[in-house]
C-alpha cells in the first residue's frame, strides 16, 4: 500500500492570458526574476495541441484565452513540511524509470482539483502545463509549478485566485516508502512504521526533529483548499463572468442593481447553487444573466 500525502503550497504569482502574460498578483512577493523568466517561457511556448488533448480528459476549455495561470511553489526540497514529510533533492531529481522523467516532472499535466476530490478527472478545474526545479540557491531548492486554471469552469474560484482570497494550493502525491529521520528504517506501509514515526512525528527526540523522507514519489494532482471567498463574492464573481462581454463599469452598476433585488440570504443560496454547478450552467441561464446585467 503506497502512502498518500498532501501539503499546502504557497502561490507566488498569478498570471493572466489576454495576449501578453502579465503578472497580476504576487501574493508573497517572493517570486525571483529567474522564476519569473521560467514561468514566462512556459506560458509563451504552452502547447495548444497538448491543451486540446488534455481538455477532453479533464473536461476543461480548449481555448487558451479562458485560462489564468497561478504559480505555486509546490515543494521545497530538504525541508520537512508541516506534516513532517520531507522531499529530498536527490528524490526530486531522481530519474523515475516508471514515468520516464525526473520525479518533480510527474507534476506535469496533472489535474487541478478542489479539496483533493480527485477521483473523477472530469471534475478538474485545470491542469499543470509545466513544472520547474529551481536550484540556483543551494539552501532553497524547490519545485515551481505552472497551473492553467479554466475560468469558465469555476468562475468564483478564478475570482478568488485573482483577488488573493485563495492564496494556497495543496499538492497530492503517493510514495512507495518513507524513511525515518531518527532510526533510518524504511517503511512500505503504515504497519511497518517505526515507533518514532508512529508516535513522535514532528516532535523532537534528543533535539532531533522526527520526520520522514518520502521515497518513490509520484505527484498526482494539485488542489485548491479552503473556502476561497464568502458566498456573496462567489455570486458576484459568477455573474461577472456571465456578463463577461460587458464593460467593467457597466458590471459594477449592474451589481448595485442586483443587490437591491436579491436579499443577502438569497444571494447565499444562489451562490451555493453556482458553486456546485459552475461550468455546467445552460447557455440560456448565462444569456439571462447577461440581460439582467
Ligand atoms: Zn525511526
* 220-271: pLDDT as tens digits: 999 988 654 444 444 555 555 544 434 444 444 444 455 656 666 666 666 5
What is the CA(146)–ligand 1 centre distance, in A? 35
Domain holding 266, by residue range, is: 231-292
Average pLDDT over residues 91-107: 97
What is the CA(212)–ligand 1 centre distance, in A? 9
What is the CA(137)–ligand 1 centre distance, in A? 30
Residue 182: what pLDDT?
A: 97
Same domain, 216 and 262: no
What is the CA(187)–ligand 1 centre distance, in A? 9
Q: Report how far residue 39's alpha carbon sits from residue 293's, in angstroms, rounded to the nearest whole number.
A: 36
Same domain, 126 and 39: yes
Same domain, 126 and 245: no
Same domain, 74 and 162: yes
Same domain, 220 and 236: no
Residue 38: what pLDDT?
A: 87
Same domain, 40 and 178: yes
What is the CA(208)–ligand 1 centre distance, in A? 12
What is the CA(88)–ligand 1 centre distance, in A? 17
What is the CA(79)–ligand 1 centre distance, in A? 18
Same domain, 31 and 156: yes
Residue 238: what pLDDT?
A: 52
Residues with Cβ within 8 Å of residue 271, at least 6 apart in sequence: 156, 231, 232, 234, 235, 238
Residue 228: what pLDDT?
A: 44
Report whether pLDDT(62) > 70: yes
Same domain, 166 and 264: no
Same domain, 109 and 169: yes
What is the CA(52)–ligand 1 centre distance, in A? 47
Q: Coil, helix or strand for 120?
A: coil
Cβ distance 124 to 111 under 8 Å?
yes
Residue 42: what pLDDT?
A: 87
Point out the domain boundary residue: 200, 224, 248.
224
Angle at 277 (CA atoms; ends 14, 117), nearest 5 degrees? 65
Residue 147: what pLDDT?
A: 95
Residue 156: what pLDDT?
A: 87
Looking at the chain, the whole-number percentage of residues with pLDDT higher than 90 is 51
Question: Which DSSP symbol is given to 21?
Answer: -
Q: How many domains does the chain have?
A: 2
Residue 174: what pLDDT?
A: 96
Report whether pLDDT(282) > 90: no
Cell of 232: 456573496
Residue 230: what pLDDT?
A: 44
Residue 167 has φ and ψ, to the nearest 5°, of -125, 10
What is the CA(192)–ligand 1 centre distance, in A? 10
Point out the domain boundary residue: 209, 224, 239.
224
Cβ distance 147 to 70 under 8 Å?
yes
Residue 131: what pLDDT?
A: 97
CA 219 from centre of chain: 12
Same domain, 51 and 174: yes
Q: Quick: pLDDT tens for 195-215.
A: 999 999 999 999 999 999 999
Cell of 145: 509549478
Report whether pLDDT(46) > 50: yes
Same domain, 271 and 150: no
Residue 290 has φ and ψ, to the nearest 5°, of -60, -40
Q: Quick: pLDDT tens for 124-180.
A: 999 999 999 999 999 999 999 999 999 999 998 888 888 888 888 999 999 999 999
Amino acid at each position: 500500500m503506497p502512502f498518500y500525502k498532501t501539503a499546502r503550497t504557497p502561490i507566488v504569482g498569478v498570471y493572466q492570458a489576454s495576449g501578453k502574460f502579465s503578472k497580476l498578483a504576487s501574493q508573497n512577493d517572493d517570486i525571483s526574476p529567474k522564476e519569473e523568466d521560467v514561468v514566462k517561457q512556459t506560458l509563451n511556448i504552452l502547447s495548444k495541441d497538448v491543451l486540446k488533448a488534455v481538455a477532453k480528459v479533464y473536461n476543461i476549455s480548449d481555448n487558451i484565452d479562458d485560462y489564468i495561470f497561478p504559480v505555486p511553489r509546490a515543494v521545497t526540497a530538504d525541508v520537512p513540511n508541516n506534516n513532517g514529510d520531507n522531499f529530498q533533492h536527490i528524490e526530486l531529481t531522481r530519474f523515475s524509470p516508471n514515468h520516464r522523467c525526473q520525479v518533480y516532472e510527474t507534476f506535469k499535466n496533472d489535474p487541478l482539483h478542489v479539496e483533493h476530490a480527485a477521483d473523477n478527472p472530469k471534475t478538474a478545474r485545470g491542469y499543470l502545463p509545466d513544472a520547474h526545479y529551481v536550484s540556483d540557491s543551494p539552501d532553497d531548492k524547490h519545485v515551481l509549478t505552472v497551473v492553467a486554471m479554466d475560468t469558465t469552469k469555476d468562475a468564483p474560484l478564478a475570482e478568488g485566485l485573482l483577488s488573493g482570497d485563495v492564496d494556497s494550493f495543496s499538492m497530492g502525491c503517493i510514495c512507495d516508502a518513507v524513511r525515518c529521520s531518527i532510526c533510518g528504517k524504511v517503511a512500505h506501509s503504515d504497519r511497518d512504521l517505526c515507533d518514532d514515526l508512529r508516535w513522535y512525528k514532528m516532535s523532537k527526540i534528543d533535539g532531533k526533529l522526527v520526520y520522514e523522507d518520502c521515497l518513490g514519489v509520484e505527484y498526482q494532482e494539485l488542489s485548491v483548499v479552503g473556502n476561497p471567498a464568502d458566498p456573496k463574492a462567489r455570486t458576484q464573481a459568477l455573474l461577472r463572468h456571465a456578463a463577461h462581454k460587458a464593460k467593467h463599469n457597466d458590471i459594477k452598476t449592474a451589481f448595485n442593481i442586483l443587490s437591491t433585488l436579491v436579499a443577502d440570504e438569497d444571494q447565499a443560496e444562489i451562490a451555493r447553487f453556482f458553486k456546485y454547478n459552475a461550468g455546467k450552467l445552460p447557455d440560456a441561464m448565462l444569456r439571462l444573466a447577461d440581460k439582467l446585467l
